[in-house]
Amino acid sequence: MNPPRAPRSLWRHARIASFDGDRPWGWLDDGALLVEGDRIAWVGPDAALPAERLTGGGPLDEIDLGGALLTPGLIDAHTHLVYAGDRAAEFEQRLQGASYEQIARAGGGIRSTVAATRAADDEALFTLAAARARALMAEGVTTIEVKSGYGLNERDEARCLAVARRLGRELPVAVRTTSLGAHALPPEFEGRADDYIAEVCRWLPGQQAAGLVDAVDAFCDTIGFTPAQTRRVFDAARALGLPVKLHAEQLSDQGGAALAAGYRALSCDHLEHLSPAGIAAMQAAGTVAMLLPGAYYFLRDTTLPPVAALRAAGVPMALASDHNPGSSPCLSLLLMLNMGCTIFRLTPEEAWRGVTVHAARALGLGDRGRIAAGLRADFVVWDAGHPRELCYRFGHNPLRRRLFGGMPD
């Protein structure tokens, strides 16, 4: 049996921020969008709608948007969505003066989430992750990247990746999976980080053969892994033809961004302590800077990522929620739009490109993140007149309709 075909639909009189072409915002003041199946068939000024495209080809559902805003579906390109438990007690400890690093070194932090995740069965992990994914989707997200990294053994890493894959099968959202075995040292490997890295490298071929992994990530930092250990993980990824990305320069400058750029990393993420040399290497490699204001805010960081220098160098900047229980228990990409502007001083257009076209690039996906003919029909209609309104307000969700592959929710 053929899967049900999304109906043909024509969306008229929209203000469209397409993020396509050279115009600011890819702006169309009175635009129209024709959807056929799961693709955008035509987009342009409403007055230029080609009549011949509208006849034939089956029934056409026509919707007059009356000047409402239409944008690409949002892409959250850095999340740790699959885990059990929470870290509210750790939050309280931090309020009493303990630092994120101190808690991690004392065996809490990521390790406490690993214990809770290992103890949860597949169904529990799926239920928790699905609720988080739905919260993101309710704000217009149509593609989510999901990392492992709270299993930290062969079985539990594979389980977490399988849960992420299941999200993409059972919910109307696209999921890209990232293997992050090199997230933290599990307690059973205490004092043997090099041995643990050998294990992480050993798991990758099996994860790939099972169709569980689209990319490979690591946490290169004082409480994570060294550049040399990161390099071993990346060599293993490269041997399998898997793209890499890196949690780089979050708490200190390890030279991780330049290292990752040497592997043509899709993105380097966090980057509060990024050096000029790191920026130059990312620029040369075409690596996306993934900015994570939720973690910056929640850890009460005081070193800002070098946004002005990234901008001057022409490094594409993306924005993501970094949803995770320790450093960013945030399920709002709209809030990241606001924080990207207020805290990181992105322009509203940069922030928007960060959750659309540049987020797609950070996932290596050329078929989404813009409104253009031939791309996936993942888009959102908002009760707003201009996208800058969504950067300006916070705690406010003006979503009217979300379309995933041409299918409305």
Judged by CB under 6 A, does residue 103 bind ligand NIG? Answer: no
| Strand 174-182 to 27-36 pairing | unpaired
Does 151 sit near ligand NIG (CB under 6 A)?
no
- Neighbour count for residue 42 (Cβ, 10 Å): 18
Strand partners, 379: 72, 403
**Per-residue binding letters, 26-65, with Fe ion (x by CB under 5 A):** ----------------------------------------
Nearer to Fe ion, 36 or 322 (CB): 322
**And the tokens for 192?**
């043997």
Query: Which residues in the 188-227 window bind ligand NIG by CB under 6 A?
Result: 219
Backbone angles phi, psi at 202, to 5 degrees: -70, -30
Residue with CB nearest ligand NIG?
A: 326
Strand partners, 247: 219, 269
Q: Considering only residues 236-255, where is the footprint of ligand NIG by CB under 6 A? A: 247, 250
- Dist. CA 250–CA 302, nearest whole Å: 11
Pick the closest to residue 180 from 225, 134, 239, 126 (CA basis): 225
Of 20, 90, 253, 322, the residue at the interface with Fe ion (CB under 5 A) is: 322
* Chain-centre distance for alpha carbon 52: 38
The answer to whether 316 and 32 have CB atoms below 8 angstroms apart is no
As measured in angstroms, the least distance from the Cβ of 57 to Fe ion is: 44
* Minimum distance of Fe ion from residue 365's CB (angstroms): 19
Question: Are 104 and 187 within 8 A, CB to CB?
Answer: no
User: Which region, judged by CB under 5 A, interacts with Fe ion, from 67-75, 154-162, 319-327, 368-376?
Assistant: 319-327
Q: Using CB under 6 A, which of the segments 60-68, 300-308, 318-326, 360-368 binds ligand NIG?
A: 318-326
Residue found under tokens 């031939």: 374
The least CB distance from residue 219 to Fe ion, in Å, is 8
- Indicate which single residue of 229, 267, 324, 338 sits in contact with ligand NIG (rule: CB under 6 A): 324
Interface contacts to ligand NIG, rule CB under 6 A: 109-110, 113, 219, 247, 250, 295, 322, 324-328
